């Protein structure tokens, strides 16, 4: 690697400076990342497709724009996209056989905004099928491996996107987070992962899983790179009626304006997370150590009770399966991708296409969702879960009247071995124990690195903030990382 690249590659601000000083070009950057991908991707399986020629051609165009002074604000950012984001004239598969041969006819809003600011997309990234999973083992195209130990999972569902940043195969990845799919893999891979407030980023062009939870999320090496990316892709959009109309703050500038009045944020940690049965001793110790460190730096950190915590996971799994069963009804063999070749009539086409096209976990969720929505059980499960969701939301809102942030471990364990939980669905669902509360509530949450365990596996710290407090959240995360 040339020395310019080596000193700049971990921060977009530094890459941009080198580009401005004419010591680095986008062509060199793309060449560098393609080389790393060529070396590492065969064993890690993070990218399902690499756009080498296209990225090189785009780099040339962006380099010219830089010369002319017309380049966008993400010139020099090399990004990867999880295989659930529409990118015009590119394959899109949700890592499922069901979308075999499908190509997107348009750019999703987030992707369009990245491209407009001259980010260069280098490839399409592996994930759990239809973003359902916590280990990336549910991909129809093979598991993604954690770079730290290739016998380990990278987390999921956005595992490929996390590993791509972890292994230096791109600078920033866009993933999706419905219940933890950005934060949990970020924790397992030792990088930064943000799930913004629900509705902060348009969902137009994001393959729907559970629409009242789905959020596009961002992976990067640091908070500043997340901030500038969020600033570009967030905000109102005529193509998504649920997206927030709020102004998008200049997150990247606010990052450096923190603690102007020297007032330190007030922090809480939830008792029930630290005393949770499944929490590994080492993660507990790392979290407690962080709490003590914050206290010693003058932060007010208090323990709070949140007895509803235990209902968050069941509430999540009732609601998301219900929404998934509805959203995935569109894959019927008529409109998208795969159709079973063994059909005799219309009904057998639906049945066989769905039986052969979907993987096991997706089918399990469709069936569960159909069950909780069925006439005899609708009130007992779906309506009840909606009510519990509201209660959790209200309790969380109450906490944010007193505290600026709530911290917890991101995950109960570090990256586990591939195959460890085969056939043990509930064990895998428990990987989301600490991430689903923010999803049920719709608040922003970020995972940042918090040391490693004895085996050298990364530990994540999750910071949750109030609705639309991404500016404060990113500034605080930045401070903790430094
Ligand atoms: N692991 C969680 C699940 O399987 C989260 C998925 C996600 O956020 N897309 O539902």
Label each residue of the chain as H, E or C.
CCHHHHHHCCCHHHHHHHHHCCCCCHHHHHHHHHHHHHHHHHHHCCEEEECHHHHHHHHHHHHHHHHHCCCCCCCCCEEEEECCECCCCCECCCCCHHHCCCECCCCCHHHHHHHHCCCEEEEEECCCHHHCCCCCCCCCCCCCCECCECCECCCCCCHHHHHHHHCCCCCEEEEEECCCCCHHHHHHHCCEEEECCCCCECCCCECCCCCCCCEEEEEECCHHHHHHHHHHHECCCCCCCCCCCCCCCCHHHHHHHCCCCCCCCEEEEEHHHHCCCCCCHHHHHHHHHHHHHHHHCCCEEEEECCCCHHHHHHHHHHHHHHHHHHHHHHCCCCCCCCCCCCCCCHHHHHHHHHHHHCCHHHHHHHHHHHHHHCCCCHHHHHHHHHHHHHHHHHHHHHHHHHCCEEEEECCCCCCCECCCCCCCHHHHHHHHCCCHHHHHHCCCEEEEEEEECCCCCEEEEEEEECCCCHHHHHHHHHHHHC
Query: What pLDDT shows up at residue 1?
Result: 54
Query: What pLDDT shows up at residue 62?
Result: 98
Assess contact for 405 and 172: CB atoms under 8 A: no
Ligand 1: nearest atom to the Cα of 213: 8
Query: What pLDDT shows up at residue 9?
Result: 81
Terminal-to-terminal C-alpha distance of the chain: 26
**How far does the centroid of ligand 1 lie from the alpha carbon of residue 414, in Å?**
17
Query: What pLDDT shows up at residue 2?
Result: 64
Check if 439 has its Cβ closer than 6 Å to any atom of ligand 1: no
Check if 134 has its Cβ closer than 6 Å to any atom of ligand 1: yes
Taking each helix axis from N to C end, the angle separating 223-233 and 470-481, rounded to the nearest 10 degrees, works out to: 160
- Annotated catalytic residue: which of 134, 135, 157, 161? 157
Query: What pLDDT shows up at residue 256?
Result: 77
Sorted by where each begins, the domain ranges of the chain are 5-254
Whose tokens are 């060199």? That residue is 28
Check if 138 has its Cβ closer than 6 Å to any atom of ligand 1: no
Check if 186 has its Cβ closer than 6 Å to any atom of ligand 1: no
Nearest to 331 by CA among 313, 311, 355, 314: 355
Ligand 1: nearest atom to the Cα of 132: 4
Check if 181 has its Cβ closer than 6 Å to any atom of ligand 1: yes
Check if 132 has its Cβ closer than 6 Å to any atom of ligand 1: yes
Q: Annotate 171-182 with three-state secondary structure.
A: CEEEEEECCCCC
**How far does the centroid of ligand 1 lie from the alpha carbon of residue 18, in Å?**
38
Please say if 176 is a catalytic residue. no
- Of the options 3.30.365.10, 3.50.50.60, 3.90.1300.10, 3.40.50.720, the CATH number for the domain spanning 5-254: 3.90.1300.10
Residue of minimum CA distance from atom 10 in ligand 1: 132
Q: From CA 27, how far away is CA 435, in angstroms rounded?
A: 38
Whose tokens are 């990218």? That residue is 47
Token representation of residue 11: 């921060």
**How far does the centroid of ligand 1 lie from the alpha carbon of residue 44, in Å?**
21
Query: What pLDDT shows up at residue 5?
Result: 78
Q: From CA 455, how far away is CA 26, in angstroms rounded?
A: 37
Query: What pLDDT shows up at residue 259?
Result: 55
- Mind listing the pLDDT tens digit of every residue in the chain (482 residues)? 566 777 778 899 999 999 999 999 999 999 999 999 999 999 999 999 999 999 999 999 999 999 999 999 999 999 999 999 999 999 999 999 999 999 999 999 999 999 999 999 999 999 999 999 999 999 999 999 999 999 999 999 999 999 999 999 999 999 999 999 999 999 999 999 999 999 999 999 999 999 999 999 999 999 999 999 999 999 999 999 999 999 999 999 998 775 555 689 999 999 999 999 899 999 999 999 999 999 999 999 999 999 999 999 999 999 999 999 999 999 999 989 999 999 999 999 999 999 999 999 999 999 999 999 999 999 999 999 999 999 999 999 999 999 999 999 999 999 999 999 998 988 889 999 999 999 999 999 999 999 999 999 999 999 999 999 999 999 999 999 98
**How far does the centroid of ligand 1 lie from the alpha carbon of residue 82, in Å?**
14
Check if 131 has its Cβ closer than 6 Å to any atom of ligand 1: yes
Please say if 199 is a catalytic residue. no
**How far does the centroid of ligand 1 lie from the alpha carbon of residue 180, in Å?**
6
């Amino acid at each position: 690697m040339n020395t310019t690249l080596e000193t700049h590659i971990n921060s977009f601000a530094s890459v941009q400076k080198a580009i401005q000083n004419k010591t680095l070009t986008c062509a060199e950057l793309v060449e560098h990342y393609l080389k790393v991908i060529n070396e590492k991707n065969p064993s890690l399986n993070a990218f399902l497709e690499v756009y080498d020629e296209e990225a090189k051609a785009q780099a040339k165009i962006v380099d010219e724009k830089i010369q002319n002074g017309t380049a966008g604000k993400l010139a020099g950012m090399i990004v990867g996209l999880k295989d659930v984001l529409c990118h015009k004239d590119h394959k899109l598969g949700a890592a499922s056989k069901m979308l075999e041969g499908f190509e997107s006819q348009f750019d999703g809003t987030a992707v369009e905004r990245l491209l407009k600011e001259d980010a260069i997309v280098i490839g399409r990234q592996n994930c759990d099928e239809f973003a359902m999973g916590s280990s990336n083992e549910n991909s129809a195209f093979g598991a993604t491996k954690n770079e730290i130990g290739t016998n380990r999972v990278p987390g999921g569902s956005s595992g490929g996107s996390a590993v791509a940043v972890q292994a230096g195969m791109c600078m920033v990845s866009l993933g999706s987070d419905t219940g933890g799919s950005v934060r949990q893999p970020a924790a397992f891979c030792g990088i930064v992962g943000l799930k913004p407030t629900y509705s902060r980023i348009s969902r137009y062009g994001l393959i729907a899983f559970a629409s009242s939870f789905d959020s596009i999320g961002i992976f990067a090496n640091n908070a500043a790179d997340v901030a500038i990316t969020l600033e570009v892709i967030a905000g109102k959009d005529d193509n998504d009626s649920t997206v927030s109309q709020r102004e998008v703050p200049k997150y990247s500038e606010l990052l450096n304006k923190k603690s102007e009045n020297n007032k330190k944020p007030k922090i809480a940690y939830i008792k029930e997370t630290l005393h949770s049965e499944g929490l590994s001793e080492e993660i507990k110790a790392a979290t407690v150590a962080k709490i003590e460190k914050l206290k010693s730096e003058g932060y007010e950190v208090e323990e709070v009770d949140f007895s509803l915590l235990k209902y968050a996971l069941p509430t999540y799994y009732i609601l998301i399966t219900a929404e998934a069963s509805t959203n995935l009804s569109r894959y019927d063999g008529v409109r998208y991708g795969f159709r079973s070749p063994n059909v005799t009539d219309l009904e057998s086409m639906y049945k066989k296409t769905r039986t052969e096209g979907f993987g096991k976990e997706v089918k399990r969720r469709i069936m569960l969702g159909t069950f909780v929505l069925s006439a005899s059980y609708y009130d007992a499960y779906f309506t009840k879960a909606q009510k519990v969701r509201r209660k959790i939301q209200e309790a969380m809102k109450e906490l944010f009247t007193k505290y600026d942030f709530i911290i917890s471990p991101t995950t109960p364990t570090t990256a586990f071995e591939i195959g460890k939980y085969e056939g043990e669905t509930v064990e895998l669902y428990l990987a989301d124990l600490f991430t689903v509360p923010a999803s049920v509530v719709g608040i922003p949450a970020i995972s940042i690195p918090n040391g490693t365990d004895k085996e050298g596996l990364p530990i994540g710290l999750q910071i949750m903030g109030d609705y639309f407090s991404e500016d404060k959240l990113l500034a605080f995360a930045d401070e903790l990382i430094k």
